Amino acid sequence: MRARGWASIGRLLAGSQRLSSRSHAVMAEEAKKLAAYAAVDNHVQNNQVVGVGSGSTIVYAVDRLAERVRQEKLNIICVPTSFQARQLILQHGLTLSDLDRHPELDVAIDGADEVDADLTLIKGGGGCLTQEKIVAGCAKHFVVIADFRKDSKALGQQWKKGVPIEVIPMAYVPVSRTIAKCFGGEAKLRMAVSKAGPVVTDNSNFILDWKFEHAHKWKEVNTAIKMIPGVVETGLFVGMAERAYFGMEDGSVQVRDPPVN
């Protein structure tokens, strides 16, 4: 009897835990939308070329962008950072371009996996880091949108999956070994979920996820990793973002700019 009592209490607790993690996820979705709408409203103007990031938060930004284009009759040209972004632009009837035709962007808006106090980012959870970094690098302003779970004091506090690093397939083992030897931790090949074998990026490369053991000087580490033969790009975005919008649990939006040194 007593055992059955404990079992039903256990079930109740598990149920309420499931509920609370579901409501956390619902809040995170709402927070993504808040951040995305704020960024599009504050940074997009008529006659601009806009870089469109990748991931789940950017979906809300493209929704809002398309809404504003329709309502305000804006003339906006969009440059995608991935196959996903290209699809989003087309599905919303927005004008699609590329860096050949528009190598200078007015603004790029993108999500992030983690944003630290300096606005150093980890990106590439969705595997699109190389094109994302190229497009952000071509933009006069690079703005980040994220929910409260991405807000961090120091990289690694919130995002536990490590720094994504895009590599040429034949080099993934030597690159992984070099990273572990020089910087510690472990750089593991990212495996696909609904396909046998590794994740293959939009650029036909592989992704290593480097789980670092401690904080690093990210600018130096980023440069050093990029020097390893076979590395295409890292998901460390250092000194690139000029503003981050965080949608918060209480329905507010917090803005973070880089510290003034």
Q: How far separated are the first and last CA of the chain, in Å rounded?
A: 66
Nearer to ligand 5RP, 33 or 123 (CB): 123
- Please name which of 228, 229, 234, 230 lies closest in space to residue 168, comparing C-alpha atoms: 230
The only residue of 51, 80, 124, 156 in contact with ligand 5RP, by rule CB under 6 A: 124
Site for ligand 5RP in 47-66 (CB under 6 A): 53-57
Nearer to ligand 5RP, 118 or 202 (CB): 202
Largest CA distance in the chain: 74
Nearer to ligand 5RP, 158 or 176 (CB): 158
Residue 35 interacts with ligand 5RP (CB under 6 A): yes or no: no
The only residue of 118, 132, 166, 233 in contact with ligand 5RP, by rule CB under 6 A: 132
Residue 127 interacts with ligand 5RP (CB under 6 A): yes or no: yes
The span from the CA of 22 to the CA of 210, in Å, is 29
Site for ligand 5RP in 103-122 (CB under 6 A): 110-113
Query: Residue 219 corresponds to which amino acid?
Result: K
Concerning whether 104 is annotated as a catalytic residue, the answer is no
Residue 162 interacts with ligand 5RP (CB under 6 A): yes or no: no
How many angstroms separate the Cα of 246 from the Cα of each of 111, 112, 114? 10, 11, 11
Q: How far is the CB of 144 from ligand 5RP (least distance, A)?
A: 9
Burial classification of residue 254, based on how many CB atoms lie within 10 Å of its CB (0-12 exposed, 13-18 middle, 19 or more buried): middle
Nearer to ligand 5RP, 149 or 216 (CB): 149
Q: What backbone phi and psi angles, to 5 degrees, belong to 237?
A: -110, 100
Q: Which of 67, 114, 132, 242 is catalytic?
A: 132
236 Cβ contact partners less than 8 Å away, ≥ 6 residues apart? 120, 121, 122, 163, 218, 221, 222, 225
Q: Where do contacts with ligand 5RP occur on this chain (CB under 6 A)?
A: 53-57, 110-113, 123-129, 132
Catalytic residue list: 132
